[in-house]
Amino acid sequence: MAAFASLGAQTTDLIPPGKADLRDTTQDATRALEAFLASVERKAFRIAQIALRHEADALDVVQDAMMQLSSRYASRPAQEWKPLFYRILENRVRDMQRRRNVRSRVMAYMPWRGEEDEDAVDPLDMAVDQGPLPPAQLESDEAMAALEQAIAALPARQREAFLLRNFEGMDVAETAATMKCSQGSVKTHYFRALQALRAKLGEFRT
Amino acid sequence: MKGDDIEAGSSEFERRTRALLLKSAEELPGAVRSRLTQARYAALAARPARLTPFARRWVPVGAAVAAVLALLIVYVPAGRSPLEGPLANAGLEDIELLSDNDAVPLNGDQDVDYDFYEWAANEAAGSAAPAVGS
């Protein structure tokens, strides 16, 4: 095995001195992909969590989206990664929601339904263990919870348009590419999402 | 229009919702951040190995050379033996003799009737040579 290792070292030494940058191409691409994933992972998780209302499912969905982008689309130009990634993420979210719907329908016919619920939130996870929150933090948390609930209640396309435009900061063209629809549709979905959110969250208005 | 542009053209309601969402993303629990980091590294590990341009150019050449060498090693000894004439196929005949159960044992077996073989050889020599006086 040592012979193979030394062979690899010799092979890299065969790269002509004038083209030394060739050996860094793969490492650069990996670093670029890692930087991209690091830049989107938190927002992607929050987007999935808001849609699914479940932390573990959101993590699974984000990981699936990362894996698919990395294994299938990493060779695409870096500027295409963001629309591709969020399209994959949204597809995964919908797959998860469909699976849940099917499971809940099947479970509804089972005689032992309600005895075991894997998706039930563990009360210990919900417990606040940091003592009383300051009023500003409490207000912020309550506002976030209300906002999250209102966004989750939006139709899927409106939710997607709102989160991509408002949270991820995509422009209309990028959002349209991600959602595979026209820019006019994006504007319509976004406008309707804003209207619905304003109607529910009146206190957000200034 | 990126994030800053959205800020510029948006209402107070949009700015407030955006600030809340960004804050929630920044303040994720450590366990979630750790899981996301693990997921990122798993995704990078799943990335198909890409050959450098240098390797892309030379790996097919190396494979072709290896294939030609393998063909030479396999086919040349069978097609061209270094021995010419009657000894060309001696190797195969030797294998047949050694694997023949009815052949004369070559290991000095005590049960072999050497007198019979000597007589048979003499008889064969006698019949081949012209008889004395004939």
C-beta atoms of A30 and B39 within 8 A: no
Asked if A165 lies within 8 A of B24 by C-beta distance, the reply is no
pLDDT averaged over chain B?
75
DSSP for B24-80 reads HHHT--HHHHHHHHHHHHHHHHTSPP---HHHHHHHHHHHHHHHHHHHHHHHHHHHS
Q: Min CA distance, A85 vs chain B (Å)?
A: 12
- Which residue ranges form the domains of chain A, and what is each CATH number? 28-108 (no CATH), 145-201 (1.10.10.10)
User: CA-to-CA distance for A184 and A182, rounded, in angstroms?
Assistant: 5
Which of helix, strand or coil describes residue B113? coil
Q: Which of B6, B26, B55 sits opposite A165 (nearest CB)?
A: B6
Residue B4: what pLDDT?
A: 47
Q: What is the pLDDT of residue B64?
A: 87
Neighbour tally for A60: CB within 10 Å: 17
Interface confidence: ipTM more than 0.90: no
| A11: confidence class by pLDDT, cuts 50, 70, 90 | very low
Least Cα separation, residue A125 to chain B (angstroms): 12
Residue among A74, A67, A68, A62 at smallest CA distance from A28: A74
Confidence band for B127, pLDDT divided at 50, 70 and 90: confident
Can you tell me the mean pLDDT for A109-113? 68
- In chain B, positions 54-113, which contact chain A (CB-CB < 8 Å)? 54-55
HEC per residue, A69-103 = HHHHCCCCCHHHHHHHHHHHHHHHHHHHHHHHHHH
Of B40, B2, B60, B108, nearest to A74 by C-alpha is B40
CB A61 within 8 A of CB A92: yes
Res A126 pLDDT > 70? no
Query: Which of A96-100, A199-203, B125-129 is predicted with the least confidence, judged by mean pLDDT?
Result: B125-129
Least confidently predicted of A31-45, A127-141, B58-72: A127-141
**A140, B23: Cβ pair inside 8 Å?**
yes
Residue A57 or B125, more confident:
A57
The model's confidence at residue B47, banded by pLDDT at 50, 70 and 90, is confident
Residue B93 pLDDT? 67
How high is the pLDDT of residue A119? 56
Q: Which residues of B touch A19 (CB under 8 A)?
A: 54
Q: Contact at 8 Å (CB) between B39 and A63?
A: yes
pLDDT reported for residue A5? 44
Q: Which two tokens stand for residue A93?
A: 């979210």
Of how many residues is chain B composed? 134
Q: Which residues contact A42 (CB under 8 A, 6 or more apart)?
A: B25, B26, B28, B33, B36
Mean pLDDT of A160-167: 96
Which residues are CB-neighbours of A46 under 8 A, at least 6 positions away?
A: A167, B21, B24, B25, B28
CA–CA distances in Å: residue A194 to residues A28, A108, A150, B69 = 40, 35, 11, 70
Q: Quick one: which of A87, A50, A93 has its CA closest to A72?
A: A87
**A172:B53 CB<8 A:** no
**What pLDDT shows up at residue A192?**
96
What is the distance, to the nearest Å, from the Cα of residue A203 to the centroid of all Cα atoms in its chain?
A: 28
Rounded Cα distance, A81 and A68, in Å:
11
CB < 8 Å to B25, chain A: 42-43, 45-46, 167
Percent of chain A with pLDDT over 70: 73
User: What contacts B130, CB < 8 A, 6 or more positions away?
Assistant: none
Q: How many CB pairs under 8 A join A and B?
A: 116
Give B-chain residues touching A74 at CB under 8 angstroms: 47-48
pLDDT of amino acid A117: 54
Which residue of chain A is at minimal alpha-carbon distance from B53?
A: A22
B42/A contact by beta carbon, under 8 A: yes
Whether the Cβ atoms of residue A73 and residue A84 lie closer than 8 Å to each other: yes
Average pLDDT score over residue span A181-203: 92
pLDDT of residue A109: 77
Chain B partners within 8 Å of A171 (Cβ): 1-2, 5-6
The CB density around residue A55, as the number of other CB atoms within 10 Å, is 18
Is pLDDT at A67 greater than 70 in this prediction? yes
What pLDDT sits at residue B59?
76
| Closest residue to A46, CB basis, from B2, B11, B24 | B24
What integer pLDDT is reported at residue A159 of this predicted model? Answer: 96
Instruction: Name the average pLDDT for chain A.
Output: 82
Mutation target for B interface from A42, A57, A186, A194: give the one with most B CBs within 10 A. A42
Largest alpha-carbon pair distance within chain A? 73
Among chain A residues, CA nearest to B39: A63
**What would the pLDDT profile of A40-66 be if each residue is shown by its tens digit?**
999 999 999 999 999 999 999 999 999
Name which of B30, B25, B17 is nearest A44 in CA terms. Answer: B25
Does the beta-carbon distance from B44 to A26 stay under 8 Å?
A: no
Contact A82, A39 (CB under 8 A): no
Distance, in Å, from the CA atom of A138 to the CA atom of A202, rounded to the nearest integer, reads 18
CA-nearest residue to B35 within chain A is: A59
| pTM of the predicted protein model | 0.61
Residue A206 pLDDT: 38
